[in-house]
Amino acid sequence: MKKNITLFLFLLLNYISFTQSLIGNWKGELTINGYSLPIIFHVDSTETGWKSTMDSPKQGAKGIPCDLTSVNNKSLLIQIHKIRFTYKGNLTSNDAIQGELNQNNASFSLNLQRSYDVTEPKTGQQIETSTYTSEDITFINPKAGHKLAGTFTFPKDGKAHKTVILISGSGPQNRDGEILGHKPFLIISDYLTRLGIAVLRYDERGVANSGGDFTNATTKDLSTDVEAAVTYLKTRKEVSDIGLIGHSEGGLIAPMVASILPEIKFMVLLAAPGTLGKEILLDQAKLISEANKIPENEIQKNLDLNSKLYDLIIQNADTNTLKTKLFSELKTLQGDAFKENEADLMFKQLNSPWFRYFVTIDPTLYLNKVTCPTLALNGKNDLQVPCDKNLKAIKEAISKNGNKNVTIVPLKNLNHLFQTSKTGNPSEYSSIEETFSPKALKIMGEWILGL
């Protein structure tokens, strides 16, 4: 049990970002004797585990419940017992699964592609795209050498408007910020554009229609995609002042960009970190573990271990040295329960470029240099980026350089995704119908228009 809890705590940061890689809609074409049969899986992670349903559109079948859905690292297993159906596949990129379907002792190759079709959001929050212009666009990141694809929405009046770039949180995300059946960036974009604020949102590098490599990108690397978006917007006649709206890790990227580009005239930070990366990870692990009712003594043991291992990352740039010391620490702690394959999985996550960079990052280095007006919002139920602690750190850091135009707003009952919630536990995310709090939308919109 101890080793399982340890692994659970290490994976908390990736609860959304890592599992998101298999959450979603997956489409493939099954070919049998020259006949093409589309198959669609809808995969989700819930409080009670992984769930999925299957559609076979040509056969008029929709929402077939799957008896077993299992995710192990990047492998997917789906079974429907009544029809002796088994699908096994492996994630080969952010948007592709290579696999095989078995039914009644017959095997067929079935490769899947992630579907980013724009559908009605899960929530009752409706969108009204007919009231403004929505244009699919592309732009180049010259520093990284790839093309990014997105959507630019703007009022139809022919005037130049305040414009925002939406910056998503950790994990590979498309332009709608699609997560657990919700499309928060679609909701935000629609709301702000109808208010008269133009919005650019884009597929992250390596996701959907954007090129580039997400897997090896650090937070700093991702900030250059935002810089490229700013350069693109400067070519558009519909744009006046340019601002940034960043959620979670995007709220770390926003000040990175605002601190070096004078073109950024305002910034909205949503559940943004204001404390050290290591501190964010430990706070997050503690709060979510408490929400999941893990015994207090186990939580503290694992926090102590995590802190030691994060320090190993900070102190050891050499990969081999880090692996040796990490394995030694785990063997000492776990004794006979130590499993090399589990330790190796943990090492690969900890040694990833993104994780190495994030655990050492200090947001105040960038916040101290922000000179533009800033609005920072966070939900009081946020268990991933604790509200009061990080809002206070953000305000202090920005104010330190003499910039007094910073507003912080804690919002009752909102979780990390800005949904109205009971506890803020990530296990609630998929079951909540609301995608993004109307109150938070109103505050953002009024603040931007009032500048």
Taking the chain (451 residues) in runs of 10, the rounded mean pLDDT of each run is: 40 42 85 79 81 83 87 88 89 85 85 72 74 97 97 97 96 86 93 98 92 92 98 98 98 98 98 97 92 89 90 94 91 85 81 93 97 98 97 98 96 97 88 94 98 95
* 3-state SS assignment for residue 415: coil
pLDDT of residue 17: 44
Backbone angles phi, psi at 203, to 5 degrees: -70, 130
* 3-state SS assignment for residue 211: coil
Q: Which of 290, 234, 288 is nearest to 261 (CA)?
A: 234
pLDDT of residue 18: 41
As a whole number of angstroms, the distance between CA 432 and CA 121 comes to 12
pLDDT of residue 161: 98
- Extract the tokens encoding 374: 């800033």
Q: What 8-state DSSP symbol labels residue 101?
A: E
pLDDT of residue 337: 83
As a whole number of angstroms, the distance between CA 279 and CA 273 comes to 10
Domains and their CATH numbers in the chain: 21-114 (2.40.128.20), 129-276+361-449 (3.40.50.1820), 277-359 (no CATH)
Q: How many CB atoms lie within 10 A of CB 112?
A: 23
pLDDT of residue 7: 42
